[in-house]
Amino acid sequence: MARAGKRIGKAREAVDRNTEYPVEQAVRILKQVANSKFDETVEIAMNLGVDPRHADQMVRGVVALPNGSGRTIRVAVFAKGDKADEAKAAGADIVGAEELAETIQKGKIEFDRCIATPDMMPLVGKLGKILGPRNLMPNPKVGTVTADVTEAVKGAKGGAVEFRVEKAGILHAGIGKASFSESALVENIKAFTDAVAKARPTGVKGVFVKRVTISSTMGPGLKIEQSSLRAV
């Protein structure tokens, strides 16, 4: 633990918390200080000028990261018949209907993304209290309630990342791994911030994106100069 503490301390010393770095420089520094024995996840946090308690200021969506997220995503699909076969062929890890719902009700949730065909929603809706708090409830706004299960499964497996603003107006997500190249991480960051910018609710007044920060699992946060993102 002492060694880890010293390593983290040195990493924090390399970062000026009051400085906003151009995205390319921020990524370069992040990779230099991400020296743990495991491949650290690169996370992004965006402080938004919204109050998600108001329905017209909720920010949510999905973005296909150009270089993937680096995570192995386990996908569950609620479907029957031909759609169930399509989901399995597309690479879904779990496919089912009533039996899958029973498994979830028993507290066994072995997936990271949940997709459902429209006809399955009356069944899935009964699981709202379980899936909702875990941000796993299928939603047509982010493409997880769809008849095109093949595209949805491939998108989830290929690096599509969902985002949803939290109560304090903060939105965060994993957008890659420290082992990714600098250019791959920069591309993913720009794709993510662009998607969030396009999801700006009509009810928001004033500054929408207040601050953008990136960090690795064990590393310090680096503020990003928004002008370097261009799309924000």
pLDDT of residue 126: 96
d(CA 68, CA 72): 10
Percentage of the chain beyond pLDDT 90 is: 75
For residue 216, tell me if it sits in a domain: yes
pLDDT of residue 17: 81
Characterize the bridge pairing of strands 209-216 and 222-224: antiparallel
Q: Which CATH number covers residue 109?
A: 3.40.50.790
For residue 5, tell me if it sits in a domain: no
Q: Is 80 exceeded by the pLDDT of residue 231?
A: no
Q: Helix 182-198 and helix 23-33: axis angle, to 10°?
A: 130
Which of 130, 157, 184 is the last residue before a domain boundary?
Answer: 157
Which of 116, 140, 157 is the last residue before a domain boundary?
Answer: 157
pLDDT of residue 14: 67
Domain count, the chain: 2
Going by C-alpha positions, the residue among 39, 19, 60, 15 that lies closest to residue 171 is 60
> What residues have CB less than 8 Å from 215, skipping those under 6 apart?
30, 42, 43, 45, 221, 222
Helix or strand (DSSP H, E) at 46: strand 41-48
- pLDDT, one tens digit per residue, over 38-68 is 999 999 999 999 998 888 899 999 999 999 9
Q: Which CATH number covers residue 169?
A: 3.30.190.20
Q: Mean pLDDT across the chain, nearest whole number? A: 91
> What residues have CB less than 8 Å from 187, skipping those under 6 apart?
66, 67
Q: Is 80 exceeded by the pLDDT of residue 2?
A: no
Domain with 87 in it: 75-157
- pLDDT, one tens digit per residue, over 144-188 is 999 999 999 998 998 889 899 998 899 999 999 999 999 999 999
> What residues have CB less than 8 Å from 173, skipping those under 6 apart?
43, 44, 161, 162, 163, 192
pLDDT of residue 141: 86
Same domain, residue pair 58 and 169 = yes
pLDDT of residue 1: 45
pLDDT of residue 41: 95
pLDDT of residue 174: 94
Going by C-alpha positions, the residue among 222, 216, 230 that lies closest to residue 70 is 216
Q: What is the 3-state secondary structure (H, E, C) of 73-128?
A: CCEEEECCHHHHHHHHHHCCCEEECHHHHHHHHCCCCCCCEEEECHHHHHHHHHHH
Which of 109, 131, 157 is the last residue before a domain boundary?
Answer: 157
Same domain, residue pair 166 and 131 = no
For residue 3, tell me if it sits in a domain: no
pTM for this model (two decimals):
0.80
Same domain, residue pair 149 and 169 = no
d(CA 125, CA 140): 13
Going by C-alpha positions, the residue among 165, 169, 176, 163 that lies closest to residue 214 is 176
Q: Which pLDDT band, with edges at 50, 70 and 90, does 232 fall under?
A: very low
